[in-house]
């Protein structure tokens, strides 16, 4: 009883403390994350880690000694969401020999740096789709504990792959054995319905928020083709069943025309890449309400800077084969009315450059407002976090960013974020 009373007094004090010191953000213009328009001259009231209200400045009286953040010459938006990152990956590490020299902790140290540049670029939430087990889960937790600066993380384990699939180590002599993480295989490689089930369950047991599965070959793996389907529909269905039974979403890496259909039919929540989608695939995704998360900036980096970092010729060739097609097919999917969420595959190109994809999304068919919604309210819907994230409105987390020029006239404005608040805490302010 005493404890209950103490807890009550404590929570009362906390809420009083918060109630006493809200922060008032004066916003020149606001893009709320849901509509098309910019709202001029607004005030956002932040209490604790949440937004208390968004109102026209004329309706708000700001107390004299209040804590005020002046963004009255800026355009203010919700924190951005990247639905496809690899937070432990380095975009300067394509030389296979160097990759094998790196110990497993190195990825974790780099992930700390990557998390910081990501949130400072205005991406206050990421859905991490494939890091070593279970780096993203632990990074998520230490960020939540306040020990590391970074975005909110919706974490997966390693992408689940069939033997010889996109997530396997391929093209080495059969007698070559990599004993990187002996335990890792059980979290990464699965064949047959039972093993797929077991692998998804094992990942869930270790705390993933989302499951990632490879339904086709890929560009950045050896000895397989992006066009080739991987896993049977039955295997994919088993993964979907287990993820959904646990209340989690599941994302499928799928470049290939048939792989996109297989994964969509199996019931995944999002198709990642979607490079070779055809009209039938577009219709199927619409019918199932499946999201498309297409990393259409990557091609620039892979056929540019990555080559200087010794990207293997096989990968250059595969990128040349699908990069342009992916952008054209993205445009068809947009026209066809497929739901689009923003995801970049950051880690393939340097973390912190996440906003560079907006330009291509507009070039290939979205309006600037749609492209921003794909990284705010729409992304929040895909990741199942609409109640907390994706818009500037009462009750949401106070994840708020600002830019100096109007992103609705030139979306590249989002590449220069000058202010970042996450959960009511200012992480960047270049004013
Ligand atoms: N992770 C993807 C893969 O290896 C990257 C594809 C990058 N290329 C592209 N055009 N999106 O398949």
In a domain, 174, yes or no: yes
Would the CB of 209 count as within 6 Å of ligand 1? no
The number of the ligand 1 atom at minimal distance from the alpha carbon of 323 is 10
112: nearest Cα among 80, 140, 70, 79: 140
Say how many CA atoms lie within 13 Å of 82 toward its Cβ: 32
Same domain for 54 and 116, yes or no, is: no
Neighbours of 282 (CB within 10 A): 21
The answer to whether the CB of 424 falls within 8 A of the CB of 50 is: yes
70 with 182, same domain: the answer is: no
If you ran DSSP here, which 8-state letter would residue 356 be given? G
Are residue 323 and residue 334 in the same domain, yes or no?
A: yes
116 and 192 both lie in a single domain:
yes
Residues 69 and 123 in one domain: no
Structural domain for 318, as ranges: 80-352
The structural domain count of the chain equals 2
Q: What is the pLDDT along the chain (431 residues), one digit of tens a residue?
A: 444 444 444 444 444 444 559 999 999 999 999 999 999 999 999 999 999 999 999 999 999 999 999 999 999 999 999 999 999 999 999 988 888 888 879 999 999 999 999 999 999 999 999 998 999 999 999 999 999 999 999 999 999 999 999 998 888 888 877 654 545 668 999 999 999 999 999 999 999 999 999 999 999 999 999 999 999 999 999 999 999 999 999 999 999 999 999 999 999 999 999 999 999 999 999 999 999 999 999 999 999 999 999 999 999 999 999 999 999 999 999 999 999 999 999 999 999 999 999 999 999 999 999 999 999 999 999 999 999 999 999 999 999 999 999 999 999 999 999 999 999 999 999 85
d(CA 31, CA 430): 20
155 burial via Cβ count (<10 Å: 0-12, 13-18, 19+): buried
What is the spatial order of strands in the sheet that 80-85 belongs to?
80-85, 123-128, 152-155
Q: Is residue 360 part of a domain?
A: no
- Count Cβ atoms below 10 Å from residue 84 Cβ, excluding itself: 27
**Same domain for 30 and 120?**
no
Task: Verify that 158 and 263 share a domain, yes or no.
Answer: yes
Q: List the CATH number of the domain containing 42.
A: 2.30.40.10
Task: Single out the residue of 357, 352, 350 nearest to residue 92, CA to CA.
Answer: 350
Yes or no: say if 78 and 93 are a contact pair by the CB < 8 Å rule: no
Question: Which of 352, 374, 402 is where one domain is finished?
Answer: 352
Q: 143 and 54 in one domain?
A: no
Residue 328 resides in a domain: yes
Does residue 431 have an active-site annotation?
A: no
Distance 291 CA to ligand 1 centre (A): 17
Asked, for residue 104, whether it belongs to a domain, the answer is: yes
Q: In this structure, are residues 264 and 284 in contact, taking their beta carbons and an 8 Å threshold? A: yes
Query: 73 and 118, same structural domain?
Result: no
With a 6 Å cutoff on the Cβ, whether 298 touches ligand 1 is yes
How many angstroms does the Cα of residue 220 sit away from the middle of ligand 1? Answer: 6
Domain final position from 352, 383, 417: 352
Any atom of ligand 1 within 6 Å of the Cβ of 85: no
- Residue 137: give its domain's CATH number: 3.20.20.140
Is 212 annotated in the active site? yes
- 157 and 265, same structural domain? yes
Residues 60 and 189 occupy one common structural domain: no
CB of 262 within 6 A of ligand 1: the answer is no
* 405, 310: one domain: no
What pLDDT does residue 181 have?
A: 54
Strands 210-214 and 152-155: what pairing? unpaired
Ligand 1 pocket residue status of 319, Cβ below 6 Å: yes
| 298, 324, 356, 364: residue to mutate for ligand 1 pocket, most atoms within 8 A of CB | 298
């Amino acid at each position: 009883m005493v404890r209950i009373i103490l807890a009550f007094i404590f929570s009362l004090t906390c809420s009083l403390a918060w109630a006493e010191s809200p922060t008032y953000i004066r916003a020149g213009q606001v893009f709320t994350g849901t509509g098309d328009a910019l709202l001029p001259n607004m005030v956002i009231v932040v209490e604790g880690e949440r937004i208390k209200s968004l109102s026209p400045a004329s309706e708000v009286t700001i107390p004299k000694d209040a804590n005020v953040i002046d963004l009255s010459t800026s355009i203010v938006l919700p924190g951005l969401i990247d639905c496809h990152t690899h937070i432990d990956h380095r975009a300067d590490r394509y030389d296979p020999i160097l990759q094998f020299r790196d110990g497993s902790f190195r990825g974790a140290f780099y992930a700390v740096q990557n998390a910081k540049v990501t949130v400072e670029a205005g991406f206050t939430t990421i859905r991490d789709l494939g890091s070593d087990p279970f780096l993203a889960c632990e990074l998520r937790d230490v960020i939540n504990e306040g020990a590391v600066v970074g975005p909110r993380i919706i974490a997966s384990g390693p992408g689940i792959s069939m033997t010889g699939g996109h997530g396997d180590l391929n093209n080495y002599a059969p007698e070559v054995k990599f004993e990187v993480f002996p335990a890792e295989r059980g979290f990464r490689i699965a064949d047959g319905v039972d093993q797929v089930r077991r692998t998804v369950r094992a990942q869930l047991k270790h705390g993933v928020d989302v499951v990632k599965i490879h339904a086709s070959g890929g560009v950045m793996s050896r000895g397989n083709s992006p066009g080739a389907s991987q896993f049977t529909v039955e295997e994919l269905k088993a993964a979907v069943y287990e993820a959904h039974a646990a209340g989690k979403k599941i994302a499928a890496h799928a470049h290939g025309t048939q792989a996109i259909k297989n994964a969509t039919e199996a019931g995944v929540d999002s198709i990642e890449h979607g490079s070779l989608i055809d009209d039938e695939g577009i219709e199927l995704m619409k019918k199932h309400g499946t999201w498309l998360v297409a990393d259409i900036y990557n091609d620039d980096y892979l056929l540019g800077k990555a080559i200087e970092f010794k990207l293997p010729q096989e990968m250059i060739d595969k990128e040349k084969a699908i990069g342009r097609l992916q952008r054209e097919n993205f445009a068809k999917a947009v026209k066809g009315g497929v739901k689009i969420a923003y995801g970049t595959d950051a880690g393939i190109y340097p973390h912190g450059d996440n906003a560079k994809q907006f330009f291509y999304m507009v070039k290939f068919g979205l309006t600037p407002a749609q492209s921003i919604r794909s990284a705010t309210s729409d992304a929040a819907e895909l990741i199942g976090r609409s109640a907390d994230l994706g818009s500037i409105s009462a009750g949401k987390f106070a994840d708020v960013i600002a830019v100096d020029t109007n992103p609705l006239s030139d979306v590249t404005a989002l590449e220069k974020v000058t202010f970042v608040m996450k959960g009511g805490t200012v992480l960047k302010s270049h004013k």
